[in-house]
Structure 1
Amino acid sequence: MAEELQPVADEALAVPAVVSVLSTILQRQAERNDGASSGRKAPSAFQGVRKPSISVRRYLERIFRYACCSPSCYVVAYIYLDRFAGSHPAVALDSFNVHRFLITSVLTAVKFMDDIYYNNAYYAKVGGISLMEMNYLEVDFLFGIGFELNVTPVTFSYYCSILQREMCRESLPSPAPALAPASRSLICCLAEEESSSCQLAV
């Protein structure tokens, strides 16, 4: 019997910074590639026939509310997406495939990072796809990144710094305030107990 979706908390729960920042980066990338010539796009198992009605931000927030995975999984999912893109430059992330890439990369990351996680049937329900498609996308994604799942602390910290810079860019008002924020530090993505490895002065 399939597990029922159980949100981690109600709508009032604050969404981790990593979810917001990652959704912004991926939404911007998808929109940029939407404007590119569609005739050059390589076929992909992740490509949908129409754009989903749910935004990237709302979709990633949905994953956060129901998947109950650790914040670090989102960083690792971002690393996996980058590895896939590096191995398949002809497959552009766009509005027709970004949602499938997201649910698959998070599923892959949570299986590697967390000790306890939901099964593929549950993630398929969270992602709004069938179990058969979820299984197929997972296998395709694993082959797409060459089963390169290990993430070193150096790599993890590097991607944290990318996410943090993006978060700082979004949080700075325009025009910039006269006071220099050199003494302020911003945690980019991790839970408080994990944050020591991912802190930069801004």
Structure 2
Amino acid sequence: MAELESPNVMPKLITFLSSLLQRVAETNDLNRQFQPQKISVFHGLTRPTISIQSYLERILKYANCSPSCFIVAYVYLDRFSQRQPSLPINSFNVHRLLVTSVMVAVKFMDDMYYNNAYYAKVGGISTTEMNFLEVDFLFGLGFHLNVTPTTFHTYYSYLQREMLLQPTLNLAESSLNIGRSLKLHLCFNEDEASHQSQQQQQLAV
């Protein structure tokens, strides 16, 4: 989408995604007391000292990928959350999930991309760990990597709408409305969203 190429759009998108992921992670941190959560290869022993926003800004700066990759990475994170309910996004795994989702999106979307060693350096982890994360992420997605134009448009439109509403809505309320359970899926059921989008397009004809 041409809009994503605008120099002002990506910084706003990164800031919003960071705020959203921060809220989801903090909520799931609290839920750990009440709901069992698996420990996976994405979990660090401690919370990273770098903020989610700074980490995303670092990825944006050094990944040299098309802006669309960040939307696709967001779709992948949502799919992962819905397919792996026992591995909700929290403060211990959000950074590794982010760099892995972006790397996988770049490989799927862009004609040119770096090797895993490069993305490992961007993410501040070892190449061996990056390789393990990629494999686990792919299996966690069930290798469901294709993102149709309808799905892409649905997710991007959702983000645009939320970014416009952000100044007037409490972020906590906005984030809580995104999920359908305490696991806080990042967005919504993809099949339902695509169906609704198709219906709207038909009505507009």
Structure 1 segment 18-167 matched on structure 2, within 5 A: 18-38=13-33, 40-167=36-163
Separation in structure 1 between the aligned mates of residue 92 and residue 168 of structure 2, nearest angstrom: 31
Change (3 A) 1:144 1:173: closer
| Cα offset, 1:28, TM superposition | 1.1
| Cα offset, 1:109, TM superposition | 0.1
Separation in structure 2 between the aligned mates of residue 111 and residue 18 of structure 1, nearest angstrom: 21
Unaligned runs of 5+ in 2: 1-6, 171-205
Separation in structure 2 between the aligned mates of residue 76 and residue 104 of structure 1, nearest angstrom: 12
Letter in 2 for 1:149: L
TM-score by length of 1: 0.76
Separation in structure 1 between the aligned mates of residue 156 and residue 119 of structure 2, nearest angstrom: 25
Separation in structure 1 between the aligned mates of residue 32 and residue 68 of structure 2, nearest angstrom: 34
1:101-143 CA-partner distances (Å, limit 9, x unpaired): 0000000000000111111100000000000000000000001
| Cα offset, 1:161, TM superposition | 1.7
1:7-57 CA-partner distances (Å, limit 9, x unpaired): xxxxxx865332222112111100111111346111211111100000000
Q: In structure 2, what is the equivalent of residue 194 of structure 1?
A: none
TM-score by length of 2: 0.75
| Cα offset, 1:90, TM superposition | 0.9
Q: In structure 2, what is the equivalent of residue 193 of structure 1?
A: none
Change (3 A) 1:155 1:173: closer
Tell me how large the CA RMSD over aligned residues is: 1.7
User: Which one has a bigger Cα radius of gyration?
Assistant: 1
Separation in structure 2 between the aligned mates of residue 89 and residue 70 of structure 1, nearest angstrom: 29
| Cα offset, 1:173, TM superposition | 8.7
Separation in structure 2 between the aligned mates of residue 25 and residue 166 of structure 1, nearest angstrom: 10
CA contact (8 A) 1:77 1:106 kept: yes
